[in-house]
Amino acid sequence: MPLDPLRGKPAPPDRIVNVAKVVSDYYTLPPKAPVSFGTSGHRGGASRGSFNEAHVAAITAAAIEYRRMKGHGGPLFMGHDTHALSEPAWRTALGVLAGQNVPTVINANGEYSPTPVISFMILEHNKKHPDSLADGLIITPSHNPPDDGGIKYNPPHGGPADVDATGWIEKRAAELMDSYGIGEFKKVSLEKTLASDPVTVMDFVRPFVKGLGEIIDFPVIKSAGLKLAADPLGGSGARYWEPVAEEYGIDITVVNPRVDPSFSFMTLDGDGAIRMDCSSPYAMANLLEHSKGFDLAFGNDPDFDRHGIVSDGVLMNPNHFLATAIHYLLNNRPNWNKTGKIGKTLVSSCLIDRVTRGLGREIYETPVGFKWFVPGLLSGDLLFGGEESAGASFARKDGTHWTTDKDGFCMALLAAEIMAKTGKSPLALSESLAEKYGATDYERLDS
């Protein structure tokens, strides 16, 4: 695909989505495409007829049937990101859940909820209440363009649903869409939903922020006095960085605090589309410019399950940061299981294999999709799971599981810990590893 001449430049008016039209199409256009679960839920666009209210209502209703069939009697944690379609889809799903009397927990003040936060909340509940298992729904199309929508189901293991679950929900949602009109799904208005007994409002931010102290060495970051820059790319974690900075006394500046469902502040991706891809140097052009004067900078996609690390003014290749992170963690987590494995997808860099085996650890290689890491992360057999698309999670300092979905927060903060502890930038360490292990697929993104 040829590169667009405006790549890395501010989006011109003719490429900015009409939010009002997109939301209107969500409510008024009939579905033209079936429910289809990919590697991470159902995604589509309202104007294309592939993400409309009927899709969301049917998927939610099918997920309710699935959780009841499996005996999951605990609460359902629900979150959403900042895409234009996420708010209306969140409202639709809430109405269906309340109409079916499903105990549902949402973030306080209607606040956005990143993917790793929902995973964390599910797992924390289930540790304390094993007889009343919780699960979750997350409304997000990840890093996709502003007019896209998405919805995914996370079972009680906290991570992306496996193919058995997604296959069942997809099939049942299709049957429901064929049988019922949207009015038969929506039982309760938003006003009544928020006042109803099944819906509980809880602060997701503080528990997650406090939990981060069990996975990241914040004292070493504070002692190093690093100046950190964060760009949420208008995403659901925008209001999490300030509480992190306050809780742990570290210096984080949010260089772009804007939340705008049109994402009009973005620079264009390589193909000329607005896409919040934190592994693209074109989409991250603003942060690359703003990173000057900071020791380290990082960005995340709208649901904060991906990370982009800017080190020495360069956006690191995601694969090479994964290798750097693995090398550091295996040398700096003394309480980790000595036989624990490192998970990677089969299309990820061979540098990961060489670093891991060079430290005497075993690689667990999977097809593309984070769902393949979930059982191992949950059991502790996997200490780290990472995929080529800049998504990863790893164990707490004591070796127990953290999240079973990708966590952009922990990976960004780990980059700061690495720099604080070693005194070297993640990019410099990455290049040293490539030189040591002779990785043939090593290439800097700025080369």
Catalytic residues: 142
Rounded alpha-carbon distances, angstroms, from residue 64 to 60, 129, 165, 203, 390:
6, 20, 12, 24, 31
Question: In what helix (H) or strand (E) does residue 445 lie, and over which residues does it extend?
Answer: none
Measured CA to CA, the distance from residue 363 to residue 345 in angstroms comes to: 10
**Distance spanning both ends of the chain, measured CA to CA:** 19
Whether the CB-CB separation of 386 and 355 falls below 8 Å is answered with no
Backbone angles phi, psi at 330, to 5 degrees: -65, -20
CA neighbor of 216 nearest in space, from 328, 313, 312, 130: 328
Whether the CB-CB separation of 51 and 149 falls below 8 Å is answered with yes
Whether the CB-CB separation of 31 and 149 falls below 8 Å is answered with no
Backbone angles phi, psi at 308, to 5 degrees: -135, 125
151 SS3 class: strand
Measured CA to CA, the distance from residue 430 to residue 23 in angstroms comes to: 44
* CB-neighbour burial class of residue 86 (10 A; exposed 0-12, middle 13-18, buried 19+): buried
Q: Which tokens is 375 given? A: 């059982």
Measured CA to CA, the distance from residue 32 to residue 393 in angstroms comes to: 36
Whether the CB-CB separation of 326 and 355 falls below 8 Å is answered with yes
Residues 6+ apart with CB under 8 A from 84: 17, 19, 22, 23, 146, 147, 261, 262
Measured CA to CA, the distance from residue 339 to residue 7 in angstroms comes to: 45
Backbone angles phi, psi at 343, to 5 degrees: -95, 140
Residues 6+ apart with CB under 8 A from 36: 42, 44, 170
